[in-house]
């Protein structure tokens, strides 16, 4: 699925989420939603899907918000988990006040139900913000407490969308990897580099994470080849993964 910068940003430059998106962007996220839903069987507990990128500023947090919204719009019970504890932006994008969140549950042994916020944008969409910035994000995300919390949340939600830090910047995503059912990598035109993307994929494969696919965010240059090339790349990767 290819997204344009112009499709998910307002004229003022502020990010748009959910109901504020234009028609083209909404359809693009619906396509991504369909691909994710068909990536898993309907059996079992809720799925934990991480959304990340190879480097910073590729749009992974915005993608996380809109994927969670799109899934809830289809009738699923969804939790958006702000697991980028170093540079959290989900609360602002979802128009939620900063409050106690994930780190407070992991550090102070709060009950996770105490930090869940219902989104006013869509029925069925809940959010857990990052909470206070900790000194040890990787240790918290890879802790037994984190695993137990996700196991509890799987019983309540159909999908848990985790906004994760860039892979090649910090080790946080790898620390939580054992609790993920799959990862989506966001790639942005003009930002992503082949070397960084290859390194991100290498690290994910090393820890055994299932790569569900890629979201390619392109500039609105009007060039038809960009979208075509993306689908060729995705198709080629999927075929190699099946062998």
Q: Global pTM?
A: 0.83
Query: Residues 188-214: pLDDT tens digits?
Result: 877 767 888 889 889 999 999 999 988
Q: Classify residue 101 as left (phi > 0), alpha (psi -120 to 50) or beta.
A: beta
What spatial distance separates the first Cα and last Cα of the chain, rounded to whole Å? 23
Per the rule left: phi > 0, alpha: psi between -120 and 50, beta: everything else, 124 is left
Query: What mean pLDDT value characterizes the chain?
Result: 82
Q: What is the pLDDT of residues 125-178, one digit of tens each?
A: 999 999 988 889 999 999 999 999 999 999 999 999 999 999 988 889 999 999
Structural domains in the chain plus CATH codes: 2-242 (3.40.50.300)
Q: How far apart are CA 232 and CA 103, in angstroms?
A: 40
Cα 107 from Cα 55, distance rounded (Å): 28
- Per the CB < 8 A criterion, the answer to whether 145 and 106 are in contact is yes
Give 182-218 as a DSSP string: EEEEEEETTT--HHHHHHHHHHHHHTT--EEEEEEEE
Tokens representing 173 are: 């995503």
pLDDT of residue 216: 84
For residue 51, pLDDT beyond 90:
yes
Average pLDDT (89-95) is 90
From residue 160, give the alpha-carbon distance in Å to each of 78, 101, 138, 156, 199. 6, 15, 19, 10, 26
Nearest in space to 112 (alpha carbons), one of 154, 161, 172, 75? 154
């Amino acid at each position: 699925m290819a997204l344009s910068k112009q499709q998910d940003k307002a004229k003022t430059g502020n990010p748009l989420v959910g109901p504020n998106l234009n028609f083209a962007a909404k359809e693009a996220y619906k396509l991504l939603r369909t691909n994710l839903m068909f990536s898993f069987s309907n059996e079992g507990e809720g799925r934990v899907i991480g959304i990340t990128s190879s480097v910073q500023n590729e749009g992974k947090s915005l993608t996380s918000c809109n994927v969670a919204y799109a899934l809830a719009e289809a009738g699923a019970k969804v939790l958006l988990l702000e697991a980028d504890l170093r540079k959290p932006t989900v609360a602002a994008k979802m128009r939620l006040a900063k409050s106690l969140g994930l780190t407070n549950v992991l550090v102070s042994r709060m009950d996770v139900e105490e930090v869940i916020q219902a989104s006013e944008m869509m029925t069925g969409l809940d959010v857990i913000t990052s909470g206070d910035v900790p000194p040890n994000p990787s240790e918290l995300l890879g802790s037994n407490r984190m695993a137990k919390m996700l196991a509890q949340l799987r019983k309540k939600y159909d999908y848990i969308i985790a906004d994760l830090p860039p892979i090649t910047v910090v080790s946080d995503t790898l620390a939580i990897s054992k609790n993920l059912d799959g990862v989506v990598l966001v790639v942005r035109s003009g930002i992503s580099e082949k070397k960084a993307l290859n390194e991100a994929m290498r690290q994910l494969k090393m820890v055994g994470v299932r790569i569900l696919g890629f979201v390619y965010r392109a500039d609105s240059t009007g060039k038809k080849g960009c979208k075509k090339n993306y689908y060729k790349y995705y198709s080629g990767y999927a075929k190699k993964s099946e062998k």
